[in-house]
Amino acid sequence: MILDAHGHLGSWPDFLIPDPSAAGMVSLMDRLGIDAIGISHLLAVGPDAEEGNRLAFAAAGRHPGRIGVWQVYNPHQRNRLTGSGVWGVKIHPDVHECRLDDRRYDPVWELGLPVLAHGQTGSPWSDPAQFVTVAGRHPHVPLLLGHAGLWPNGFARAAELAGPYPNLFLEICGSKMTGRWIARLAELIGADRVIYGSDACFLDLRVGFGRVALAPLTDADRTLVQGANLARLLPPDQPAGPARSPEP
Amino acid sequence: MPKSVLDAHRLIGPVPFDDLPRDPGREMDRLGIHHACVTHTLSLYSDVHAGNEALLGLRDPRLVPVPVLLPEAFAPAQDWDVPMVRLCPARHRYELTGPTALRRLADLGAVAAIELDETSPAELVTLTRRLPELRVLLLSPGYRRLRAIGELMAEIPNLWLEIGTVNTQRGVEWLAAHYGAERLVFGTGAPVMDDCGPRFLLDHLELPEADIDLIASGGSLLGQGVLR
């Protein structure tokens, strides 16, 4: 099963996304053999979490089993969260200008669902060191360190910091990631702690997927990265979750 | 699958900030890249002339040398017989539209490859107005500046685009629809930049097969054996 942990729908203000649609996403997934993608709507990541989440659920409803929802929590808007029918919660400390380890995110951790958070080496809001703090506070919450820290000069550090925390996973999308670095991360922290994401439609699904497909990984490690790891973490009520995805 | 794949943007040699393959051959073989335009890393991260000397000494028929042009008014002009040169005006701190650079480019008659981050849209417009015959390959344009890139493509008929970093959803198809697939050139920037994702994208573009073949082989700028 191939699962994409990091997807989006919708537009973003500072650049043109030629195809921000759910239909366009699913047609590419069909072509590439991707079973499901977890998305947050970029409106929710941006200024309106409640409405953006509504749009995300609507897209998931139009594509059942293919699009899962990362519901966005905005600590300023303190929007409602649901405990079922989602892949988990998406937070973006840099856009929200709220540190990942800020207590205003406590409602997120209290849900106990997987959390996908933007991670950015050197950022005052989302440096990988803050993931260590949160992972230690909430050892039963699966936490995906988005972009593995984003910048190549922080990838190895992110792996080193995350290593001792079994609930912390490196999600690998980003415009600076390379196939070589994916293989290195799998070696540094173990392939069972590396999770494929594409950042599509923000980025092109084919580039993110292809980076893993052609990375110098063993077939067994590629299977883990492309979906088996994430399938173990998703809530059992999700079609892509462990109830439907036995161990490889 | 494209019949022939040319990576128009690749490096050879060591870099100071990572442990990357110095020789591109193995990864090119693994990814099905048949030829590559290469610049030596010494020309970017150390001594321009030493890098060019090492590059021009290469005898690998799969690699097309792209030396770095350093337009120094106090030094003699280079008389390279090469199809493409690379310019790094920001890194090497000179004026891309200064008199020496303009003179040297006009004399060489080669394609000028320039990273977007080394220049600006306004400077590129000025450059190509001063040298209307000059053919420019814009390297690493990225995905966040498609609006500015579109304006440049519309404004400068002799501008081609390396697509390795055009990485937003269906961005390459958008460019092909608006400005023509023949003005798009496959490249990666590897090994500093990723080559796996762009190579995979090339095989999965939603374009006619003939367009993909043309992009893969260098577009109308470098395709049809121009470099070989």
Of B143, B173, B199, nearest to A203 by CB-CB distance is: B143
ipTM value, please give it. 0.96
- What pLDDT does B148 receive? 96
Res A28: pLDDT: 98
CB atoms within 10 A of CB A77: 14
In three-state secondary structure terms, B103 is: helix
pLDDT of residue A240: 82
**What CATH number is attached to the domain comprising B178?**
3.20.20.140
| pLDDT > 50? residue B2 | yes
Nearest to A201 by CA among A23, A64, A61, A62: A23
For chain A, what are the domain ranges? 3-233
Nearest to B169 among A20, A31, A178 (CB): A20
Q: Chain A: give the shortest CA distance to residue B143, in Å.
A: 8
Looking at per-residue pLDDT, the higher value among A19 and B223 belongs to A19
CB count in 10 Å sphere of residue B97: 18
Distance from the Cα of A200 to chain B's closest Cα (Å) equals: 6
Q: Tell me which chain B residues have a C-beta less than 8 angstroms from the C-beta of A20.
A: 169
pLDDT band at B224 (very low <50, low <70, confident <90, very high): low
Residue B1, in any domain of the structure: no
Closest Cα of chain B to A48: distance in Å? 22
Interface test with B, best of A4, A16, A173, A188 (most B CBs within 10 A): A16
Q: What is the mean pLDDT of residues B151-165?
A: 98
At A205 the pLDDT is: 98
What average pLDDT does range B106-118 have in this prediction? 97
Predicted pLDDT of residue A243: 55
Contact residues on chain A for B20, CB-CB shorter than 8 A: 180
Q: For CA atoms A198, A200, A203, A208, give the dihedral sign.
A: positive
User: Which residues of chain A are within 8 Å of residue B204 when distances are taken between CB atoms?
Assistant: 31-32, 206, 210
Residues B187-220: tens digit of each pLDDT: 999 999 999 999 999 999 999 999 999 999 999 9
Fold of A3-233: TIM Barrel (3.20.20)
How confident is the model at residue B226, as a pLDDT? 58
Question: Does the residue B228 lie in any domain?
Answer: no
Q: How far apart are CA A59 and CA A10, in angstroms?
A: 11
* H/E segment holding residue B159: strand B159-162
Confidence class of residue B227 from pLDDT cuts 50, 70 and 90?
low
Full domain range(s) for residue B176:
6-222
First-to-last C-alpha distance (Å) of chain A: 9
What are the angstrom distances between the C-alpha of A165 and each of A44, A149, B11, B68, B141? Answer: 29, 16, 37, 47, 38
Do B194 and A179 count as a contact with CB atoms less than 8 A apart? yes
**Are the Cβ atoms of A15 and B193 closer than 8 angstroms?**
no
Name the DSSP letter for residue A226: I
Q: Beta partners for A68?
A: A38
Of B194, B197, B204, the CB nearest to A31: B204
Flag whether residue B18 sits within 8 Å of chain A, measured between CB atoms. yes
CA A94 to CA B208: how far, in whole Å?
A: 40
Please report the pLDDT score of residue A248 as a whole number.
40
Are A15 and B145 a contacting pair at CB < 8 A? yes
Total domains in chain B come to: 1
pLDDT in tens, chain A (248 residues): 999 999 999 999 999 999 999 999 999 999 999 999 999 999 999 999 999 999 999 999 999 999 999 999 999 999 999 999 999 999 999 999 999 999 999 999 999 999 999 999 999 999 999 999 999 999 999 999 999 999 999 999 999 999 999 999 999 999 999 999 999 999 999 999 999 999 999 999 999 999 999 999 999 999 999 999 999 999 999 888 775 544 44
DSSP string of B130-156, one letter each residue: H-TT--EEEE---STTHHHHHHHHHH-
The helix (run of H) or strand (run of E) holding residue A40 is: strand A36-41
Average model confidence (pLDDT) for chain B?
96
